[in-house]
């Protein structure tokens, strides 16, 4: 079954007034990450990014000015999702943000039952414990070296590992395809979870560095 790990970054927490500024999705089939992903930055549509939000994800208005808005390019997101169930940490927030954009663009909303919330899964499995993504990564011995900020793509890769642990598997069972698409039978099994490193493309790495350098003072430079 095709499913997508999804994460967003936004200008703030108000789904009526704030906007989506980054979206990432990873395609998985069974326990396999197919190598197919969706990752885009978006112009905040004249909305000033909340200072607290900027400190969390590091994205600023100057960096995002050159991109299209999420609303104006939402069709490519819809085409990639293609009705696949979405696996999201704190699904209610991301779905509220996405559905508000879908509503503004006269598209069908994503139903809550078409998503899996890993936050709710973690609350049931570890009641009374911290269940944010960082806490779950530490609980499952998942390295956080790549998470110098809350980036949607980085968080999707981390959430993929967390999700496998939450459903009772082991990260070593994750299979990463060398090619895109579920038809590929030449799958590489990374049985050592320390080898499951996040691989960004050269363009993504350059874009990330440019964004970091554009921020005069950020949490990870203190």
Per-residue pLDDT at 202: 59
208 is catalytic: no
The pTM for the full model equals 0.77
- In angstroms, the CA 207 to CA 66 distance is 12
Residue 208's pLDDT is 57
Confidence of residue 174 (pLDDT cuts 50, 70, 90): low
Please state, in angstroms and as integers, the Cα–Cα distance from residue 194 to each residue in 14, 133, 173, following that order: 37, 18, 13
pLDDT tops 50 at residue 222: no
Phi first, then psi: what are they for 71, rounded to 5°? -60, -40
pLDDT reported for residue 216: 53
Residue ranges of domains in the chain: 2-221
pLDDT band at 65; cut points 50, 70, 90:
very high
Residue 191 pLDDT exceeds 50:
no
For all residues of the chain together, what is the average pLDDT?
84
Which one of the listed residues 39, 57, 89, 150 is annotated catalytic? 150
CB 118 within 8 A of CB 94: no
What is the pLDDT averaged over residues 147-170?
A: 89
pLDDT at 147: 73
Give 86's strand partners: 4, 115
Query: According to the model, what pLDDT value does residue 32 have?
Result: 83
- Reduced to 3 states, what is the DSSP secondary structure of residue 143? coil
The CATH number of 2-221 is 3.30.420.10
Residue carrying the six token digits 């600023």: 60
* Residue 126 scores a pLDDT above 90: yes
The helix/strand/coil state of 6 is: strand
The predicted structure's pLDDT at residue 186:
34
> Over the stretch 192-217, which tens digit does the pLDDT of each residue have?
444 444 455 556 666 655 555 555 55
């Amino acid at each position: 079954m095709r499913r997508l790990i999804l994460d967003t970054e936004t200008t703030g927490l108000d789904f009526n007034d704030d906007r989506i500024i980054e979206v990432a999705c990873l395609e998985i089939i069974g326990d396999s990450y197919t190598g197919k992903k969706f990752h885009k930055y978006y112009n905040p549509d004249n909305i000033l990014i909340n200072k607290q939000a900027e400190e969390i994800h590091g994205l600023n208005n100057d960096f995002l000015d050159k991109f299209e808005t999420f609303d104006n390019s939402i069709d490519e997101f819809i085409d990639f999702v293609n009705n696949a169930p979405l696996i999201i940490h704190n699904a209610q927030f991301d779905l509220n943000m996405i559905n508000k954009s879908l509503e503004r663009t006269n598209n069908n909303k994503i139903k809550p039952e078409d998503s899996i919330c890993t936050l709710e899964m973690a609350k049931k499995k570890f009641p009374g414990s911290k269940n944010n993504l960082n806490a779950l990564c530490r609980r499952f011995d998942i390295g956080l070296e790549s998470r110098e900020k809350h980036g949607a793509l980085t968080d999707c890769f981390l959430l993929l590992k967390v999700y496998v642990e939450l459903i009772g598997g082991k990260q070593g069972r994750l299979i990463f395809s060398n090619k895109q698409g579920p038809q590929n039978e030449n799958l590489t099994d990374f049985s050592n979870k320390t080898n499951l490193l996040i691989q960004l493309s050269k363009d993504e790495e350059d874009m990330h560095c440019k964004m970091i350098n554009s921020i005069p003072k950020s949490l990870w430079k203190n």
